[in-house]
Amino acid sequence: MHASALAAHRFGYAETSLRPLRSDPMAWVLAQFPRDSPSPNVFDSQGLTSSSDALRIAKENLRENRQSLRQIDRLGLQRRWQHTISTPAPVAERWVQFWTNHFCVSATKARVQGLVWSHENEAIRPNAQGRFFDLLKASTLHPAMLLYLDNTQSIGPDSREGKRRQKGLNENLARELLELHTLGVNGGYTQSDVTETARLLTGWTTRNATDSQTNFVAALHQPGTKMILGKRYTQGPQALDQLLIDLSQHPSTAKHLAIKLARHFVTDDPPQALVEVVAARFRDSDGDLRATACALFEHPLTWHGNHAPKFKRPDELLLSAHRMLKLPFGNAQLQAGVQALSSMGQSTGHAPSPQGWPDRTADWLSPDALFKRVQWAEGFAAVHADKADARQLAQLAMGEDLGESTLRHISQAESGAQALALWLSSPEFQRR
């Protein structure tokens, strides 16, 4: 792929035309990560329900309020999708979504229903271009994460409440903090480190139905020092900041994050030289995520046109179609999109595990998956064929990267709907 197509389609969410990017695709990307501005939260003033509201509804009577929680979830999704297809900074939005998936919370657990998008909007968006430590802390202590990974059920066995209730540790958050969020599965930690981290995390919980803040409850906290990765941490709430700083600065964290970033934005098996440069910038900048993004997008290897392309996840497929056609997400489009993603194996807001949605082509490429994608393309095109001339759109959107075979098939289509379906089913559109 040429540089303008890489910027538009692999790094972003597709553009209707490559013309505005062609003069300097790298500058177009880097402008979305301004060095002297705070991280934006585009949903601050849009009336989205906060985590406190969702928690109140959930805790008052979960069974009676499931409909309210579903409405909260639907509104958050609609605002997110609409922003993705209309933002002038789609690469920065993909950056946000990378971190949302990295710090995954999922509504597969009923108590997280209504909190998935508040976690993204309150913890991820404000910090995605700041320091990794701040992002890590905000995500770890958000009510959605504490509930999803069961830290609200983890009690120090020697704490006052642990002795009274005869309850003990839950290691879920501790394990994912080390394995997924920071060091990586081969990052050098042991089972003892997991257990000690779980002890350190005890006491961090959501206290009541109307409190939107996470609280440290000393009566739930395991007393005594904890030994994690060879370092001692004293008891009390201050230990969490100390641990998160150390994890943020650990060489294994830099390597783990650099691999994931290069895999997501560049190719499934990224060049080692690129990974090393991104990891080094992360370390040298003390986890400055804006500097890390610039290291990734400034590197020549990121722009190498011969890397194996990425296969779009179903949500990327849907969003790129809407963005390319400039098709807004009204209620009907939202419902159709949710149903389409579910049929293609990606139930929105319901990632199958704390690992989030998989990010390799092999995870999404199968005969059945391809068949369902073609079905989606045909159904989508039948409804929206009048929104664009697919013959012209394909050439504007892909430029010289549009294959002759694809162009020929689209040009020979018997109708506008068939032409659009062929374009949405084509290798050029299915990949990024």
Strands 204-206 and 214-216: antiparallel
Rounded CA-CA distance 7/2 in Å is 9
Q: CA 432 to CA 430: how far, in whole Å?
A: 7
Rounded to two decimals, the pTM is: 0.94
- Residue 307, phi then psi, degrees to nearest 5: -65, 145
How far is 68 from 17, CA to CA, in rounded Å? 40
Q: Give yes or no for residue 254 having a pLDDT over 50.
A: yes
Q: What percent of the chain has pLDDT over 90?
A: 86
Residue at 347: amino acid letter: S
232 pLDDT exceeds 80?
A: yes
Q: How far apart are CA 339 and CA 337, in angstroms?
A: 5
Residue entry with tokens 């880097």: 30
pLDDT average, residue stretch 189-213 = 85
Would you place residue 388 in the very low, low, confident or very high pLDDT band (cuts 50, 70, 90)?
Answer: very high
| Cα separation of the two ends of the chain | 9
Provide the pLDDT confidence category of residue 166 given band limits of 50, 70 and 90: confident
DSSP character at residue 142: S
pLDDT digits (tens, 9 = 90+) for 13-63: 999 999 999 999 999 999 999 976 555 555 553 455 566 666 666 656 555
Average the pLDDT over 326-331 and give the result: 96
Per-residue pLDDT, averaged over 316-340, amounts to 97
**Mean of pLDDT values over 167-190:** 97
Cα-only R_g, the chain: 23
Does residue 424 surpass a pLDDT of 60? yes
- Write down the pLDDT at residue 213: 76
Predicted pLDDT at 68 = 77
At 209, is the pLDDT very low, low, confident or very high (cuts 50, 70, 90)?
very low
pLDDT at 111: 84
Task: Note the pLDDT of residue 73.
Answer: 84
User: What SS3 class is residue 369?
Assistant: helix
- What HEC string does 197-243 produce? HHHHHCCEEECCCCCCCEEECHHHCCCCCEEECCEEECCCCHHHHHH
Confidence grade of residue 210 (pLDDT, cut at 50, 70, 90) = very low
Distances, alpha carbon 1 to alpha carbons 6, 7, 232, 302, in Å? 6, 10, 50, 12
Q: Average pLDDT for residues 319-347, to the nearest whole number?
A: 97
pLDDT given at position 188: 97
Q: Give mean pLDDT, residues 199-225.
A: 85
∠ CA 105-268-421, nearest 5°, is 85
* Residue 123 binned pLDDT confidence (cut-offs 50, 70, 90): very high
Q: Cα separation of 123 and 139, whole Å?
A: 5
**Residues with Cβ < 8 Å from 71, sequence gap 6 or more?**
none
The structure tokens listed for 158 are: 């020697």
CA distance linking residue 147 with residue 129, whole number of Å = 25
**β-pairing verdict for 204-206 and 231-233:** unpaired
Q: Give percent above pLDDT 70 in the chain.
A: 92
Tokens found for residue 246: 């150390």
**What angle, rounded to 10 degrees, do the helices at 416-425 and 404-411 form?**
160
| pLDDT score for 164 | 94
Helix, strand, coil percent content, the chain, rounded in steps of 5: 60, 5, 35
Residue 114's pLDDT is what?
85
Q: How far apart are CA 120 and CA 26, in angstroms?
A: 27
- Asked whether 289 and 129 are in contact (CB, 8 A), the reply is yes
Q: 69-101 pLDDT, tens per residue?
A: 778 888 999 999 999 999 999 999 999 999 999
pLDDT above 80 (res 227) = yes
Distances (CA, A) of 120 to 42, 316, 359, 361: 11, 17, 19, 25
Alpha helices in 51-180 (DSSP H): 51-60, 66-86, 90-102, 116-119, 132-140, 143-148, 160-165, 172-176
- CA torsion sign, 141 to 142 to 147 to 152? positive
Measured distance CA(129)–CA(42) in Å, rounded: 13
